[in-house]
Amino acid sequence: MSILSILLGSVMVANIALAFTIIFLERKNASSTWAWLMVLFFIPVLGFILYWIVGRSLTGKKIFKLDKVSKLGIEKEVNEQLEILKRNELKYKLEELNPYKELFYLHLKNSGAIYSQNNEVDLFIDGEDKFSALIRDMEQAKDHIHLLYYIVRHDQLGKRIADVLIKKAREGVEVRFLFDDFGSRLLSKQFIRRLEAAGVQVAQFFPSRFPKISLRINFRNHRKLAIIDGKIGYIGGFNIGDEYLGRSEKFGYWRDTHLRVMGDAVKMMQMRFILDWNQASPRKVKYNERYFVGGDYGDIGMQIVSSGPDHQWEQIKYGYIKMILSAKEYVYIQTPYFIPDDSLMDALRIAALSGVKIKIMIPNKPDHPFVYWATLSHVGELLNEGAEVYLYQNGFLHAKTIVVDGKLSSVGTANIDVRSFRLNFEVNAFIYDPKFALRLVKIFEDDIKLSTQMTKSLYQKRSIVIRFKESISRLLSPIL
């Protein structure tokens, strides 16, 4: 028997064993299972490698352990608020929000997302504005600075952030800096050593055993959070890097959405950071009231909702669906990737066919080709139901926002795709405030002026090559 025959036989045995694992042990959803079986069948060797890198689940390997100590006081407050909602006794500052109590309950019950309505929110759509505000707040910190980002670059912006952290740490401020190991895989050791030498506590989320080489691109911490003195919180889409200031030759201007929050919602952002930090770092943070200051700064209602592969439910996706199905007039969506599963696609389809105006804006510039063609395929399908689709032309659109009827909105880190809903750790702010929602509507309408509309007739004229790319990408979309 030749070596080639032995090798081929080994590959077939490995493929069969892997197929058995996918079908009977990991219990993936049907579309994902068929996609992986197709990859294993048509490209057995490469398919095996791809599955090892991106396909494995967390089954039997808990990388995330909830720190019960850090949740002291929160679980009691969650249960108290659930009882108030059940008795229909929650007092809203705005009575027009009363119809959305089921959405409050959904997030409270399944994500422990306490509803607060004493928040003030600043909105940023430009990186220079966002990071100028963040740096200014960090420079004024008195007690602690907590940062969590998916991508951190060792470039001009990265150095500016590091300089501030080092300065504050030397002044005696507690500084903790958490980043995702895969997203920030190009971050230099020099950058990290410089922070640690100044007293900054640094941790990596889900680090690889091999420095700079991560074979696990799933289960990444895609969250972007900053909490200063327990009073100010930042949440949204901007990572740390010059490209997010619009200095990328490839993408040009970077259009994103980020929030600066003051109020009790910051407590939930702090909770999220501490849980993530305690998973990643041996230097655990214990509950302390000084981390949970909050305060009464405004009248905006908000819930901070987390989701990830450590949870049974896809909380952020469920929130999106509930918002869409509550719409009476319109749903506006901005997202860099639009690869919804059947449940979210059906919610949009039902809304559109019920007379709700659906407007979706995606970037015209792809940063991941397969994802881009799969996105075009899905938005193209919604054109048949009357949805309006816009391609943003003024650089790269990275915002992840949803607005419903000028009353509800969501801003955060979750894209509309399987990766955000099931595979990555995400966090979104669900905001209950008409004035804020209308600000997002105005921004959307301004962005339309910088976009081209994809009409049904234009979409039907796409070339055979594009149709082929869309078909293949859509077929593989459950594993992208």
Residue ranges with strand state E in 287-351: 300-307, 330-334
What's the CA gap between 155 and 148, in Å, rounded?
17
Which among 126, 137, 180, 229 is annotated as catalytic?
A: 229
What value, to the nearest 5°, has the Cα angle with vertex 292 and ends 290 and 294? 115
100-136 residues labelled b (16+ CB within 10 A) or e (exposed): bbebbbbbbebbbbbbbbbbbbebbbbbeebbebbee
User: Residue 43 has which token pair?
Assistant: 């490209």
User: Catalytic residue at 163?
Assistant: no
User: Do the beta carbons of residue 224 and residue 235 sit within 8 Å?
Assistant: yes
Query: What is the CB-side half-sphere exposure of residue 142 using CA atoms within 13 A?
Result: 5
Strands 201-205 and 174-180: parallel
Q: Is 311 a catalytic residue?
A: no
Q: Which residue out of 400, 417, 447, 469 is catalytically annotated?
A: 400
Half-sphere exposure of 114 (CA within 13 A, CB side): 25
Specify whether 189 is catalytic.
Answer: no
Angle formed at CA 305 by CA 301 and CA 307, multiple of 5 degrees? 170
Of 144, 224, 378, 469, which one is the catalytic site residue? 224
Name the burial class of residue 283, with classes exposed (0-12), middle (13-18) and buried (19+) by CB atoms within 10 angstroms of its CB.
Answer: exposed
Which residues lie across from 453 on neighbouring strands?
390
168 is catalytic: no
Strand ranges inside 30-133, DSSP E? 116-124
Active site residue 180: no
Output DSSP code: residue 264.
T
Residue 400 falls in the annotated catalytic set: yes
Task: Pull the structure tokens for residue 94.
Answer: 């705005």
DSSP string, 112-158: ----EEEEEEEEE-SHHHHHHHHHHHHHT-SSEEEEEES-B-SSHHH
Alpha-carbon gap, residue 259 to 261, rounded angstroms:
6
Q: Residue 310: is it exposed, middle or buried by C-beta count within 10 angstroms (0-12/13-18/19+)?
A: middle
User: CA 235, 364, 340 angle in degrees (round to 5)?
Assistant: 60
Catalytic-role residue among 222, 258, 267, 469? 222
Q: How far is CA 154 from the centre of its chain?
A: 22
Q: Which of 398, 417, 433, 447 is catalytic?
A: 398
Tokens of 122: 């600043």
Which residues are tagged catalytic? 222, 224, 229, 398, 400, 405
